[in-house]
Amino acid sequence: MASAGSNHAEFPAALGLPYDPFMQQWRQLTDRRSKGEFPTIEASIEYVCNSIGASVTAEQIASAVDTRLQLTRRALIPRPDAMATLTKLRNAGFKIGLLSNCSIEIPIVWAETEFAALFDVTVFSSHERIKKPTQRMYEIICERLRAAPEDCLYVADGENYELKAAGDFGMNSVLIRANSHRLDGELRQEAREWQGAAISTLSEVLSLVNKDNAS
């Protein structure tokens, strides 16, 4: 799925505010929003508006919340091979879990998405109030899946050294290079440096699990 953090001009425009000053402050709150420090989308918007000295109405905030949720729904459209791959994994008897660093927008709309019916467990950082690569996040998903770490295949795009953290916990880490065009900066430095198992499409997971079952 696409990144739910994509910033679009319609979000600050719904508040009647210029893009740059609002989005600069919004981006600075990414870590805090992902840790669930703001109980509602409204609270995070109000915080940013206060930070830049902007006065907005309740109607503008409501419009911005709706816009933000629409952008999140748009970001959660499955990639071409995602649904077929997840369905095949479920039909083969595998449990599927999601471990996500995200602000509260994704948990709010998750039940509406095509993904929801295919995941046994979802662990959102904004609900747990901690983020990957903190080990507790990996512990939580294993506990809720009732699975041992060594029996888990952890597939991710290498954000904040999440693959190493999963491996240190005992999981089998695999880099998916689907976002190779977004490897700049520190966020995905691990993806640039990764020397372990890697795939280019989610459907390649099927070959990995079939190989493990055959061995």
The reply to whether 144 falls in a domain is: yes
Integer Cα distance of 167 and 79 in angstroms: 26
- Domain stop point among 32, 49, 75: 75
The reply to whether 4 falls in a domain is: no
| Domain with 120 in it | 82-214
In a shared domain, residues 193 and 99: yes
157 closest CA partner among 132, 128, 120, 135: 132
For position 189, what pLDDT does the model report? Answer: 86
Instruction: Please give the DSSP secondary-structure letter assigned to residue 135.
Output: H
In a shared domain, residues 51 and 121: no
In a shared domain, residues 40 and 116: no
In a shared domain, residues 201 and 112: yes
DSSP string, 27-83: HHTHHHHHTT-SSSHHHHHHHHHHHTT----HHHHHHHHHHHHHHHHHHTPPPTTHH
For position 215, what pLDDT does the model report? Answer: 52
- Domain stop point among 75, 101, 121: 75
In a shared domain, residues 198 and 143: yes
The reply to whether 1 falls in a domain is: no
Note down pLDDT in tens along the chain; length 215 residues. Answer: 444 444 579 999 999 999 999 999 999 999 999 999 999 999 999 999 999 999 999 999 999 999 999 999 999 999 889 999 999 999 999 999 999 999 999 999 999 999 999 999 999 999 999 999 999 999 999 999 999 999 999 999 998 899 999 999 999 999 998 665 455 666 678 888 899 999 999 999 999 988 766 55
The reply to whether 23 falls in a domain is: yes
The reply to whether 205 falls in a domain is: yes
The reply to whether 3 falls in a domain is: no
For position 4, what pLDDT does the model report? Answer: 41
In a shared domain, residues 68 and 93: no
In a shared domain, residues 14 and 92: no
Q: Are 150 and 138 in contact (CB under 8 A)?
A: no
Integer Cα distance of 146 and 133 in angstroms: 20
Question: Domain tally for the chain?
Answer: 2
The reply to whether 90 falls in a domain is: yes
For position 210, what pLDDT does the model report? Answer: 80
The reply to whether 46 falls in a domain is: yes
For position 2, what pLDDT does the model report? Answer: 42
In a shared domain, residues 68 and 103: no
- Domain stop point among 75, 97, 127: 75
Long-range contacts (CB closer than 8 Å, 24 or more residues apart) made by 39-45 = 39/104, 40/104, 41/65, 41/68, 41/69, 41/104, 41/105, 41/108, 44/103, 45/15
